[in-house]
Chain A
Amino acid sequence: MKRASPLVVSRGERGLAVADENSPLGRAGQARLLHWAIRALKATVPPIAAVALALLVSAALLAVNGFPATDVFTIMVTGVFHDVRSTSEVFLKATPLILIGVGLCVAFRCSIWNIGAEGQLYAGAIAATAVGVSFVGLPAWLHIGLILAAGAAAGAFWAAIAGLLRIFFNASEIVTTIMLNYIAIILTDFLVTGPLKDPAAAYPQSAKFLRDLWLPRFLPPTRLHIGILIAVALAVVAYVFLFRSSAGYAVRVVGINPHAARYAGINVPKNILLAIAISGAMAGLAGAVEIDGVTFRLYQDISPGYGFEAIAVALLANNNPLGAIFSGILFAALRSGSELMQINAQVPQVLVFVIQGLVILSVVGFAALKRQTARPAE
């Protein structure tokens, strides 16, 4: 079960290396490099091929319905990488997807099917807003910290409800998290028309955050804020937690086989609660980051389904937090591109859902192929 150190593995595969013995790296070094290159290739080729296949099928769908498929995809790609601003928008969109996706990697590794990230995002956004519009006069850095902490805590709390119901009442978390989604969204609707409503405006929205409290932007004039850096940093933390710590190991064992975990003396309920709370905290943080980095106030529809999309982000990354960084960016690029595709080619933007669905199917298809070919070696 335990992961071997890279060095050991590379020794084992030394035979693969077709290295120049006189190279400055030395034979072992080269073998290691090659090993890592092969590993990286093995990890990245299937998802890329899967995405390409999904795009191909989408292109066929476009062509069948009379749209110029090649033009459409040219628009998507060139649009997304057209200039600094359009690329920065991709990262802006990727921020909540990565945050939530990373959290879901932890839950899914524990075989906890948290379908409620959307609701946890809303819970986080509500708490962040409540903190953001009160405590006037705090130092800005402290206030921002509180806003983010409140979001994470509220998300963790919202998810923990489902976790506790699962542990104590055997209530399926798939069902309870879905129900909690509805409740959080309806609660937001109530709050922005009632207690949290901006007293100065007629619209259903909270008061706007003071400029001092906004998450700092690091690439002006784009609106890219430090949320993306937080997301990437937390992805690394989550990776280390899952794959390099004994606590993360316990979470994974519970996910693979709870009975075995119990025999091994692992506290199964504690790990279930931990995993779902982490995923909730990340989703809640995503809500807080959206509020404090993008919208600066709470609305009824603060998320266009980031919580659901992030499920696909985690799955595409094979529940690896580092992979979620890239799949998050990919899904954000698809969404950004789909908006441009509509502006410039009048293709209904909802096509992005079809592409996302196809990407997931295609990824699991490739994963199955890999399993089939790997089977004899097992």
Chain B
Amino acid sequence: MQNVVHLSFAATTVAAAWRLATPIVFAAIGETISERAGVINIGVEGIMLLGAFTGFATVFATGDLWFGFAAAVGAGLLAGLLFAFFSITIKANQIVVGAALNLLGLGLTSFLFRTYFVSTGQGVQIAPALDIPILSNIPYIGPALFRQNALVYSTILVVIAARFLLRRTAFGLTLRAVGEHPKAVDVAGLSVSLYRYCAVLIGGALAAFGGAYLTLAHANQFVEGMTSGRGFIALAVVVFARWSPVGAFFVSLLFGLFYAMQLVLQAEPNLGVPYQALQALPYVVTIIALVVVRNRTDAPSMLGVPYRKA
């Protein structure tokens, strides 16, 4: 009996990890695609906030959930366009533009929220949970794991789609070449800029979608700065996962798991460990992981370098 109870606790924790990982998966996959094309966008946090706010405000005004997600993606595309213009067209330093985007995302969403909303807590109707037939009826683990909303499940689809895109399509192969040997792509008569624009726009759209998950499918509120660093975590995930979409999924899940576990452990009375130690855990683990995987060998060789025609 005791084991069964543990099993169900474990399933609840994994389910929580999955939900907590979902926004990070979207943002990290988007960033993976962008970085594969040689563009590093540290403005993910800002774009996520824009997505969270735009989605929330749209659903608040229209009541239509899918309209909200569409608007969030639109905001992400706009932010991506801004980033691409500065980092690709006028070849500004990508870190600099990303830093600006973070400031704009935080400032703009907080400014508009404070100007137009006086929240009374009502929030919006979030995406409903979907029971997966059969699986959701598995005793002990089914109800926890397979009664999530569609967005949580869709993390698997987006991983498969991203992997397919990067590995099996001509577009994806060229995209990766743009990150490794832009000159070769240029010589072949393809536009490096165009491919980088596409990659950045996909990255922006996915980051904003991940942000919208926070307001439209997890909590039902917008709170200023509610991304709480998830965009930065996504950046770490990309490196940790060696620029692989599948890897990004599992590393995000690991992050979610550490976060969920610290919430579980804190609730444990008489643990004797300061709760701050548990909160610091995911960040310490990231650093250790970077040391263990000894990265950079897989990094796109032109990451962060603007392409100039000779």
Chain A interface residues (CB < 8 Å from chain B):
61, 65, 113, 115, 165, 169-172, 174-176, 178-180, 182-183, 186-187, 189-190, 193-194, 308, 311-312, 315, 348, 350-358, 360-361, 364-365, 367-368, 371
Contact B290 A187 (CB under 8 A): no
**With A172-B295, A368-B90 as contacts: A360 and B114 at CB distance below 8 Å:** no
Q: Which of B97, B114, B236, B280 contacts A183 (CB 8 A)?
A: B280
Confirm or deny: B120 has a beta carbon within 8 angstroms of a beta carbon on chain A. no
Given contacts A171-B290, A183-B280, contact A312 B107 (CB under 8 A): no
Give the complex CA separation of A273 and B289 in angstroms. Answer: 21
**Docked complex Cα distance between A190 and B276 (Å):** 6
Q: How far is the CA of A353 from the CA of B114 in the complex (A)?
A: 14
Is B160 an interface residue, CB under 8 A from the partner?
no
Cβ of A182 and Cβ of B90 under 8 Å apart?
Answer: no
Contact between chains at B296 and A170 (CB < 8 Å): yes
Specify which of B110, B115, B229 is in contact with A182 (CB 8 Å cutoff).
B229
Interface string of B46-90 (1 = CB under 8 A from A): 000000000000000000000000000000000000100010001
Enumerate chain B interface residues (CB-CB to A < 8 A).
40, 42, 82, 86, 90-93, 95-97, 99-104, 106-108, 110-112, 114-115, 224, 229, 232, 235-236, 239-240, 274, 276-277, 279-280, 283-284, 286-287, 290-291, 294-297
A219 to chain B, nearest CB (A): 31
Residue from the list A176, A350, A361 in contact with B107, Cβ < 8 A: A350
Q: In the bound complex, how far is the Cα of B99 from the Cα of A113, in angstroms? A: 11
Q: Tell me if B290 and A350 are in contact (CB < 8 A).
A: no
Name A169's closest neighbour in chain B (CB-CB). Answer: B291
A348 touches B291 (CB 8 A): no
6 A–B pairs (Cβ distance < 8 Å), ordered by A: A174-B42, A179-B286, A179-B287, A315-B99, A358-B100, A365-B86
Complex interface: chain A residues within 8 A of B99 (CB): 308, 311-312, 315, 360
Q: In angstroms, how far is the closest chain B Cβ from the Cβ of A346?
A: 10
Known: A353-B110, A364-B92. A174 touches B280 (CB 8 A): no
* Complex contacts, A169 vs chain B, CB 8 Å: 290-291, 294-295
Q: Write out the residue numbers on chain A whose beta carbons fall within 8 Å of the beta carbon of B100.
A: 312, 356-358, 360-361, 364
Task: Decide if A315 touches B96 in the complex (CB within 8 Å).
Answer: yes
Which residue in B86, B104, B283, B297 is a CB contact (below 8 Å) of A364? Answer: B86
Q: Give, as a whole number of angstroms, the nearest-CB distance from B280 to chain A.
A: 5
CA distance A189 to B276 in the complex (A): 7
Contact check, B287 vs A171: say whether CB atoms are below 8 A apart.
yes
* Closest residue on chain A to residue B299 by CB atoms: A172
| B92 CB contact (under 8 Å) in A65, A171, A180, A367 | A367
Chain B residues positioned under 8 Å from A371 (CB to CB): 91
Contacts of A190 in B (CB 8 A): 274, 276-277
Question: Nearest chain-A residue to B114 (Cβ)?
Answer: A348
Q: Is the CB of A182 within 8 A of B106?
A: no
Q: How far is the CA of A351 from the CA of B112 in the complex (A)?
A: 9
Residues of B within 8 A of A352 (CB): 107
- In the bound complex, residues from chain A placing their C-beta under 8 Å from that of B101 are 357
Task: Please determine whether B107 and A186 come into contact, CB atoms closer than 8 angstroms.
Answer: no
User: Is the Cβ of A365 less than 8 Å from the Cβ of B92?
Assistant: yes
Could you tell me the distance in whole angstroms from the C-beta of A127 to the nearest C-beta in chain B? 18
**CA of A361 to CA of B99 in the docked complex: distance in angstroms?**
10
B103 touches A178 (CB 8 A): no
Complex contacts, A312 vs chain B, CB 8 Å: 99-100, 103
Bound CA span A127–B91, Å: 41
Complex CA gap A186/B278 in Å reads 10
**Docked-complex contact A364 and B286, CB < 8 angstroms:** no
Does B96 contact A170, Cβ atoms closer than 8 Å?
A: no
Is B110's CB under 8 angstroms from A350's CB? yes
Nearest chain A CB to B104 CB, angstrom units: 4
Query: In chain B, what residue has the closest Cβ to A113?
Result: B95
Given contacts A353-B111, A364-B86, 5 further A-B contacts (CB under 8 A): A170-B297, A179-B287, A355-B107, A356-B103, A357-B100
CA A312 to CA B286, docked complex, whole Å? 26
